[in-house]
Amino acid sequence: MSKKTNFLSLGLVRGVFAMLVGMPLGMGLVTLIRLAVGLPAWNAEPAWVVGGLVGAVAFMIGVGSLSDWFKLAAGGELPEHPAGAVNGWARYFNFTLDHKVIGVQYGVLSLLMFSIAGLFALIFRTELVQTGLQYLNADEFNTLISLHGIVMIMAILLGVAAMSNYLTPLMIGANDMAFPRLNSFAFWINVPSGIFLLSSLFLGGFDTGWTGYPPLSVRAPLGIQMFFLGVYLFGLSSILGALNIIVTVVRLRAPGMTFFRMPIFVWSAFATALISATATQLIALSFQMVMFQRLFGMGFFDPARGGNVLLFQHLFWFYSHPAVYVFVLTGLGTISELLPVFVRKPLFGYRWVAVSSLGIALIGFFVWAHHMFTSGMSEFLRVPFMYSTLLVAVPTGVKFFSWVATMWRGKMSFETPMLFVLGAISIFLVGGLSGPPNAVVATDLHLHDTYFIVGHFHATMFGGFVFPFMAAVYFWFPKVTGRMFNERLGKLHFWLMFPAFFVQSFGQMFIGLFGMRRRIADYDPALGFEQPNWLITIAGMVIALSVLIFFINLVYSTKRGPVAVANPWRSRSPEWLLPSPIPEHNYPQPLEIVGEPYDYGLVGSVFVRIPSTAVIEEPVK
Amino acid sequence: MNDGKAVMRANLKHFIGAGAFVVVLTVIGVLILNTDRLLPPAAAAQAASIDFLFSVEFKLIAFLFALIIGVMVYSIIFFRRKAGDTDDAVYMPGNARLELAWTLIPLGIVIVLALLGSRALAQTTRIDPQAMEVKVIGQQWTWRFEYPAYDIISTELVLPVNKQALLRLSSVDVIHAFWVPEFRVKQDAIPGGERLLRITPTQLGTYTIMCAELCGRDHAYMNAAVIVKSAQEFDAWVIEQTEAVSDDPLVRGQQLAQQYGCLGCHSTDGTVIIGPSFYQLFGKTESLEGGATVQVDDAYLFEAIRDPGKTIVQGFPNLMQPTTSAGLTDEQINDIIAYIKSLK
Amino acid sequence: MLAQFLRRFLFLTAISLMVVWVVSELAYRLIQGDTARPPKTIELVIPLGTAERIAAGEPPLEIPSEMIFVVGDTLLVVNQDRVEHTLGPVWVPAGSSASLRLDTANDYVYTCSFQPSQLQNITVKQSANWKSRLAALWYGTPPTVMFLLVYSLVMFPLKKKEALSSKRKTQT
Amino acid sequence: MTSNTVSESYAHRLATNRLGLWLFLLSDAFMFGGLFITRVYLWGDTRPELNQTLGLIVTSMLLISSFFMNRAETAMAHGDRKGFLRGTLVTIVLGIAFLAGVIGVEWQIAPFGVSEDAYGAVFFMMTGMHAFHVLTGVIFLLIVWNNARRGRYSVEKHWAVEAAAVYWHFVDVVWIFFYPALYLIGKVG
Ligand code: HEA
Ligand code: HEA
Ligand code: CUA
Ligand SMILES: [Cu+2]
């Protein structure tokens, strides 16, 4: 079926072209409507918003993501498992139903966004080395931190989706996700989303931080509308992707795989999806309300017209707090998944770890107001939120203690993925332990909106996402590409990134305690923060260097790396039974689950069996 | 399943070793995190209970960090795989009693922490009925302090030492936050309502009020001084301020333009900050949004200050809020107009 | 299985309600101090001769400095002085009394004629009424239920339907 | 549980689709919940002066449409294609009438503008978001109606019909919460 690949056969290219056509169309539409109702023809805001929406739809049409649904609506039938229309590398730039390809697409886009956001960080960090403004003006600075924040968050969500898309069906023995078309749609909608987010840079930027609190966001430049649009679209992607994961996990598990026999990663993907599928609606709604206040003058957040600025914060954090657990849970799942492999011991207290994910996710729904301790909520209401926030520490603690118990008396080896796992544990511990001081109202009165918070969340996000994600990339790299990565470069990556991160994060916490506020372009020289800020910046650059090494390693090893053996880590997880790279429809026969997933060290134990072929046991020693 | 106890007995040596390691790490951690060194000096009564809580939390953090990292590093050192060993380790799938312990003990800590937190919160919000009231008004990007009892408006916050000040915080435009690191406590000033903050300064000196909530371009510079004076000095200051009201409208106008933050957006030298400059404003012909032009005279200026949304100057965003000038009386506006007129 | 789950859910909700109630009640005691009481009427007596003392610049006698109230309190101002007095909106002729209901939690500064500063601070706090207690239960219970629920799944796994029915079979 | 051969069976597929749809509705319910909270937060125990008669009329139209939708679906399950087409058509017409009532009339005669105050903001946002869902429901029904007319569904296989019906009922249920929130609860303020 493979056609000759030319430029236009790439869905991405077609999509971008369609978008370039769609946006002016949408703008023209608005202009016409405005003319028709007698308003001045040109108004940039509605034109860009509608243009953006039409452009996004056009992009999806151009990619080919909607074709099947149009066909269905017109009464056509769809094949359940169409053969891939495109093969080779071009698959990765096209609409495809294969969850593994989509997983890689997510991963690559995630790393791209991560680099862009990281670059923004390096730029504004350079500005912060000295007091005074040297390279940026205050508006540019504010735009850059805001974009750094939101693009990083998008990168995390993409990375999370990458892992759960690639791994979940494999781990539960399914051949694909429950709704492959929806899955592909959920990926591709991220491309216009990313374009919008970045385009805000050229439309005046926005100076509100990623949180976009009104009334500031009502007064911000046009760029903020592009920010809203971008968040809207990747929110949609989150919801649809999560829904797909839940259905997949509930419906497509291999026979014999009860909930308590799922690989632990699947548990965390499931818990994550529960949050994304529901809470995400609220951030969309809150941003939509600001958007409408700007477009139509609706007075949601205007006290002069009976609005209330705190309403936004409640709606926003109702999503954005649970979202931070979206960021980490898959990461923590990865840690729990990899640790037993490298320790050669069962995951200690598998069930406790599994339900801890669920516990974190569910409790996380009821703690949002801890971001608003100083915002002027009623006094006593702060107490139940302090209590519920602290409650999250307990299931998180269960995970930590179980990990440590897993290591106890194990036989640990320290390949690159394991290094990242250990790094992740120690960094997430720092981040997590800096949580309770924020959660306790009295101390948060000092800490709120300082660099201590910045340190807190960089530690949680590096420990909970960045490090585990890199561990996952290294770990499953042979599965995806069929080749091994370069172990030396991998270790170099780790040994640069790990210490540099501690310098960065501790530095941030330190100056935060002493009174450095967040989101300031300049600081008072009298405070004596120049030296720590200089250190933080250098650390950030070292992190960037290590990431560059990581990229070089990936690109080089994909082409030239030594061919990997079937199961280089001697893992028990079912995906390692398959050849690498995995064929399009995963498992030739249905799996049968006959044992527990992590029984390392239990002689004769079997987790997975492919009926009619040989029992797959512990790899030969 | 292995019996947890048997495993424990067999590993007594390791437990003692790891335990000692954890203790040492904890001690080091507590020494490093000694609170006095990690926080700016405390200068308010409210800071005391907060600092106490910080010290409790830091000790807890030091212990928990040492517990996890200690055992982990111990394992890394002593439980590493020897070269060529491809066997699996001991089969140890879990222990319900242990899991229960490390669920319930943290739960207890959490509840205690929440209660300690409530108590400290209560101490920071404790009310002194004799507190001196100050209205604190935040606006992009200045602070204004009004003393209703003395009819003083100031751009610095002057407080008598050892007397509680009740700050009524509000904002005329976006959200700001009042924070003095030495006082520890922080409170947002939001548009559309007053929020209260109580501070009892205990140390004489000058500190910096920082706006702690991103409020747009010059957020970083939205600072003001807070000066803590002895009771006598404070009284002297009050008298000085009340007598300082000039009878020259021009001087009064300049002061008001300073206090009400006009000069934060309008320059006096022709440059554009946010709004049109006041320099040579009077008498010039201004083109308005929508095409009209207008001769800038007293009536226009009055209108533009009292109700800024009505006439928008061509090329400028409608950012000036009616709330900005809501506190000004008509005479005060005329004073400002006099001041604007003088800028030629 | 669903019925079993629901039964457990209800049971744990009951337990959580109790736990949260205890915790929040303790916290409440700590926070509210002396305002953890039902609303009542409080008398403020302006003694004879207050007006003269004010005129002489002396602080009045016997007028409590602690003026903290709970929402719903009634302040009864009893004027035993020879002249009339005012407190904010209340006007109290000589020898009579008047009352002021304090319905909204806030910090008030009322002008008055019986303090040298002519100002009386009145703070009305939210009392530990059923509303705020309910709010604490409302926000604190769900996370506690979730917490107990997930761990109860490990400690006491739900029994499968087949397992249940097979047990029943072996019994009969 | 399931094997891969089973997972390709229509019945299995159907159950999977159902779960997906219900999850989607759950997710959407959070959005409507957010709107409801907004209403409670900003309006408290007051409400604007709205045309009660009109409110009653549009509400009953939507409720009645749900009844016809149900009839239509049952007809499809019994192989009564004519009945299905008739029922769906009535539903669509009632749906459009609802839209006309809310957007065409209520929006025009509301005693406040979009940008006037919190009443306007919340009212237009709630009815607008709901109307948007009704509109998508109508489009969905039109597609299903058209496909049914061309005989694409059978007694056994009519998932699209079921989905459209469930979605329609959901939108209806949302209005059952919104109607009192907008028209009934609270003092007229
Ligand atoms: C990955 C993301 C992530 C994670 C996992 C967390 C985890 C936690 N966070 Fe964090 N947080 C953020 C990301 C994250 N956070 C972000 C992005 C912000 C800022 C948003 C913004 O304003 O821009 C933020 C802000 C933030 C605030 C608001 C601060 C402010 O603005 O004033 C608070 C306050 O309560 C808080 C608390 C917590 C707590 C208690 C946890 C807990 O879950 C941590 C639990 C873990 C542990 C405690 C460690 C291990 C446990 C044990 C060893 C057991 C024993 C421990 C005890 C008994 C204490 N976080
Ligand atoms: C996953 C999330 C994530 C990550 C990884 C980071 C990474 C970094 N962050 Fe970020 N940060 C946030 C999420 C994150 N941040 C969020 C949410 C905020 C809040 C925003 C707000 O306040 O609204 C924030 C805010 C924030 C601040 C506070 C700004 C302020 O309040 O004024 C600072 C300041 O130091 C900072 C610094 C850094 C640095 C130095 C890094 C470094 O680790 C970055 C390292 C560099 C890279 C990772 C890039 C490497 C790649 C290349 C160089 C290759 C280039 C090649 C190609 C393009 C192909 N961040
Ligand atoms: Cu005001 Cu920041
Ligand atoms: Cu949070």
CA–centroid distance for A527 within its chain = 36
pLDDT of A245 higher than 90: yes
Instruction: Quickly name the fold that domain D3-188 has.
Output: Four Helix Bundle (Hemerythrin (Met), subunit A) (1.20.120)
Whether residue C143 and residue A378 make contact (CB cut-off 8 A), yes or no, is no
Could you give the CA distance from residue A179 to residue A165 in angstroms, rounded to a whole number? 12
With touching defined as 3 or more inter-chain CB pairs under 8 Å, the answer for chains B and C is yes
**What is the predicted pLDDT for the residue at B1?**
44
Q: What is the pLDDT, as a whole number, of residue C13?
A: 92
3-state helix/strand/coil string of A527-545? HCCHHHHHHHHHHHHHHHH
Q: Which residues of chain B make contact with A596, given a CB cutoff of 8 A?
A: 93
Is residue B158 within 8 Å of B132, Cβ to Cβ? no
Residues of D in Cβ contact (< 8 Å) with A286: 34
Are B148 and C68 within 8 A, CB to CB?
no
Whether the CB of B148 is below 8 Å from some CB of chain A: the reply is: no
pLDDT at C76: 83
Measured between CB atoms, which of A356, A359, A384 is closest to C139? Answer: A384
Q: Which residue has the tokens 């394992």?
A: B75
Q: Nearest Cβ partner of C109 from B121, B126, B133? A: B133
Q: Of A82-91, A566-575, C109-118, which one has max mean pLDDT?
A: A566-575
Is any atom of ligand 1 closer than 6 Å to the C-beta of A371?
A: yes
- Per-residue pLDDT tens for D10-45? 888 889 999 999 999 999 999 999 999 999 988 888
**Type of residue at A383:** V
Closest-CA distance, A274 to chain C, in angstroms, reads: 14
C-alpha angle with apex C144: C142 to C146, nearest 5 degrees?
70
Three-class SS state of A437: helix
For chain D, the structural domain boundaries read: 3-188
| Structure confidence at residue A617 as a pLDDT band (50, 70, 90) | very low
d(CA A314, CA B224): 30
Q: Is the CB of A533 under 6 A from ligand 2?
A: no
Compute the distance between CA of residue A609 and CA of residue D148 in angstroms, rounded to an integer: 45
Q: Which residue has the tokens 């040989």?
A: A614
Ligand lying nearest the CA atom of residue A534: 2
Q: Subunits touching C (CB < 8 Å, at least 3 pairs)?
A: A, B
Q: What is the least distance, in Å, from the CA of B277 to any CA of chain A? A: 20
* Percent of residues, chain A, with pLDDT higher than 90: 58
Crossing angle for the helix pair A138-171 and A180-188, to the nearest 10 degrees? 160
- Output the CA–CA distances (angstroms, integers) from residue B288 to A454, B54, B75, B292, in the order listed: 44, 56, 74, 5
Q: Is any atom of ligand 2 closer than 6 Å to the C-beta of A540?
A: yes
Confidence (pTM): 0.88
User: Which candidate, C125, C120, C118, places its Cα nearest to that of C64?
Assistant: C120
> What is the C-alpha to C-alpha distance for residues B283 and A579, in angstroms, rounded to an integer?
83
- The mean pLDDT value for B327-341 works out to 84
So what's the pLDDT on residue A64? 83
Helices (H) and strands (E) in chain D, counts: 7, 2
What's the A114 CA to ligand 1 centre distance in angstroms? 22
Q: CB contact, 8 Å: B98 with chain C?
A: no
pLDDT band, residue A378 (cuts 50/70/90): confident
The pLDDT value given to residue A621? 36
Ligand (nearest to CA of A496):
2
Separate counts of helices (H) and strands (E) for chain C: 4, 8
Burial B78-88 (b: 16+ CB within 10 A, else e): ebebeeeeeeb
pLDDT the model gives residue A604: 75
**Does residue C162 surpass a pLDDT of 60?**
no
As annotated, the residues of chain A forming the CATH 1.20.210.10 domain(s) are 96-302+311-560
The answer to whether D134 and D189 have CB atoms below 8 angstroms apart is no
In chain B, which residues have their Cβ closer than 8 Å to the Cβ of A136?
A: none
Looking at residues A103-109, what average pLDDT do you find?
A: 94
DSSP annotation of A80: S
Region A96-302+311-560: CATH code: 1.20.210.10
pLDDT at B246: 73
Q: Is the CB of A157 under 6 A from ligand 2?
A: no
Q: According to the per-residue pLDDT averaged within each range, which of A2-6, A232-236, C103-107, D4-8 is highest? A: A232-236
Burial code of A489-507, b = ≥16 C-beta within 10 A, e = fewer? bbebbbebbbebbbbbbbb
Give tens-digit pLDDT for B18-51: 899 999 999 999 888 887 778 898 899 888 889 9
For atom 60 of ligand 2, the residue with the nearest CA is: A121
Q: How confident is residue D4, by pLDDT bands cut at 50, 70 and 90?
A: very low
Q: In chain B, what residues touch C146 (CB-CB under 8 Å)?
A: none
Mean pLDDT of A458-466: 94
Number of residues assigned to chain A: 621
pLDDT of residue C129: 59
- Please tell me the distance from the alpha carbon of residue D108 to that of residue D121, in angstroms, as a whole number: 14
Q: Quote the pLDDT of residue D149.
A: 87
Q: Please name the member of C26, C30, C68 whose beta carbon is closest to the beta carbon of B129.
A: C68
Please name each of the domains of chain C with its CATH number: 2-32+129-159 (no CATH), 41-125 (2.60.40.420)
Residue C21 to chain B, least CA–CA distance (Å): 12
Average pLDDT over residues A439-445: 92
CB contact under 8 A, A75 and D146: yes
Q: Whose CA is nearest to atom 19 of ligand 2?
A: A149
Cβ C45 vs Cβ C75: under 8 Å: no
**Token pair 């371009």: residue:** B217
Query: Confidence class of residue A614 from pLDDT cuts 50, 70 and 90?
Result: very low
Question: What residues contact residue B89 under an 8 Å CB cut-off, 6+ apart?
Answer: A343, A344, A345, A409, A410, A411, A600, A601, B79
Q: B314 — contact with chain A (CB < 8 Å)?
A: no
Cα torsion through A520, A522, A526, A529, rounded to 10: 70
Distance CA A146, CA A198 (A): 11
In angstroms, the separation between the Cα of residue A106 and the nearest Cα of chain B is: 32
pLDDT in tens, D123-175: 999 999 999 999 999 999 999 999 888 888 888 888 888 999 999 999 999 99
Which ligand is closest to the CA of B191, given by its number? 3
How far is ligand 2, taken at its centre, from the CA of residue A458, in Å? 8
Share of chain B above pLDDT 70, in %: 97
Bridge-based pairing of strands B165-171 and B132-139 is parallel
Asked if residue B138 has its Cβ within 6 Å of ligand 3, the reply is yes
Cα separation values, B181 from A499, A527, B47, Å: 29, 11, 9
Residue D8 is predicted with a pLDDT of 63
With CB atoms and an 8 Å threshold, state whether A344 touches B89. Answer: yes
Look at residue A466 in the predicted model and tell me its pLDDT: 95
Binned at pLDDT 50, 70 and 90, residue C130 comes out as: low
Whether B54 contacts chain A with CB within 8 A: yes
Kind of pairing, strands C68-70 and C119-125? parallel
Mean pLDDT over each residue of chain B, to the nearest integer: 86
Give, rounded to a whole angstrom, the gap between the first and last alpha carbons of chain C. Answer: 21
- Tell me the shortest Cα–Cα distance from C80 to chain B, in angstroms: 24
Structure confidence at residue B7 (pLDDT): 62
Strand partners, B179: B186, B210
Torsions phi, psi for B174 (to 5 deg): -110, -175
Contacts of A207 (CB under 8 A, 6+ apart): A139, A142, A143, A146, A216, A220, A221, B214, B216, B217
Separation of alpha carbons C18 and B185, rounded Å:
33
Residues of A whose CB is below 8 A from B76: 407, 412, 414, 422
State residue C12's pLDDT score. 92
B196: three-class secondary structure by DSSP: strand
More confident residue, A436 or B83: A436
- Burial string for D125-153 (b: 16+ CB within 10 Å, else e) reads bbbbbbbebbeebbebbbbbbebbeeebb
Residues of A in contact with D19 (CB under 8 A): 246-247, 250-251
Q: What is the pLDDT of residue B317?
A: 78
B115 close to C (CB below 8 A): yes
Q: Which long-range contacts (CB under 8 A, 24 or more apart) does A261-264 make?
A: A261/A593, A261/A595, A261/A596, A261/A597, A262/A171, A262/A172, A262/A354, A262/A597, A263/A171, A263/A172, A263/A337, A263/A573, A263/A597, A264/A333, A264/A336, A264/A337, A264/A347, A264/A350, A264/A353, A264/A354, A264/A597, A264/A598
CB B334 within 8 A of CB B249: yes
> Would you say D135 and D171 are in contact if contact means Cβ atoms under 8 Å apart?
no
- Over the range D83-112, which residues count as b (16 or more CB within 10 Å of their CB) and which as e? ebbebbbbbbebbebbbebbbeebeeebeb
The yes-or-no reply on A/D contact (3 CB pairs or more, < 8 Å) is yes
Q: A248-252, B84-88, B243-247: which range is least confident on average? A: B243-247
Q: How far is the CA of B86 from the centre of ligand 3 (A)?
A: 60
Q: What is the arithmetic mean of pLDDT over A142-153?
A: 94
Q: Any CB–CB contact under 8 A between B89 and chain A?
A: yes
The band of A616, judged by pLDDT with boundaries at 50, 70 and 90, is very low
pLDDT reported for residue B175: 93
Neighbours of chain B (3+ CB pairs under 8 A): A, C
Q: Whose CA is nearest to atom 1 of ligand 3?
A: B176
Q: For A552-555, which contacts have Cβ atoms below 8 Å and span 24 or more sequence positions? A: A552/A489, A553/A485, A553/A486, A553/A489, A553/A490, A553/A493, A554/A473, A554/A477, A554/A485
Distance CA A329, CA A173 (A): 22
User: Which residue in A240, A101, A252 sits closest to A183, CA to CA?
Assistant: A240
pLDDT in tens, C44-85: 888 887 878 777 777 666 665 556 777 777 888 888 888 888
- Alpha-carbon distance of A616 to B116, in angstroms, equals 55
B136 in contact with ligand 3, CB cutoff 6 A = no
3-state SS, residue B179: strand
Q: What is the mean pLDDT of residues A359-369?
A: 91
Residue of higher predicted confidence among A602 and A268:
A268
Instruction: From chain D, pick out residues whose CB is under 8 angstroms from the CB of A284.
Output: 31
Angle at D13 between CA D9 and CA D18, to 5 degrees: 150
Output the pLDDT for position D1: 34
Both structure tokens of D2: 């399931």
The residue of chain C nearest to residue B117, with distances taken between CA atoms, is C27
Q: What percentage of chain D has pLDDT greater than the value 90?
A: 53
Rounded Cα distance between C3 and C15, Å, is 18
Confidence band, pLDDT 50/70/90 cuts, at residue A157: very high
Mean pLDDT of chain C: 76
Q: Which of C30, C137, A205 is nearest to B115 (CA)?
A: C30
User: Complex ipTM, two decimals?
Assistant: 0.87
C-alpha separations of A106 from A157, A429, A585, A604 in Å: 9, 27, 19, 38
pLDDT for res B227: 93
Q: What is the pLDDT of residue B25?
A: 92
- Summarize pLDDT for C139-150 with one digit per residue, the tens: 889 999 999 998
Check residue B129 and give its pLDDT: 66
Q: State residue C16's pLDDT score.
A: 92
Tell whether ligand 2 has an atom less than 6 A from the beta carbon of residue A224. Answer: no
Cβ-contact A225, A48 below 8 angstroms: yes
Query: What confidence score (pLDDT) does residue A341 get?
Result: 92
Average per-residue pLDDT for chain A: 88
Quote the pLDDT of residue C106. Answer: 65
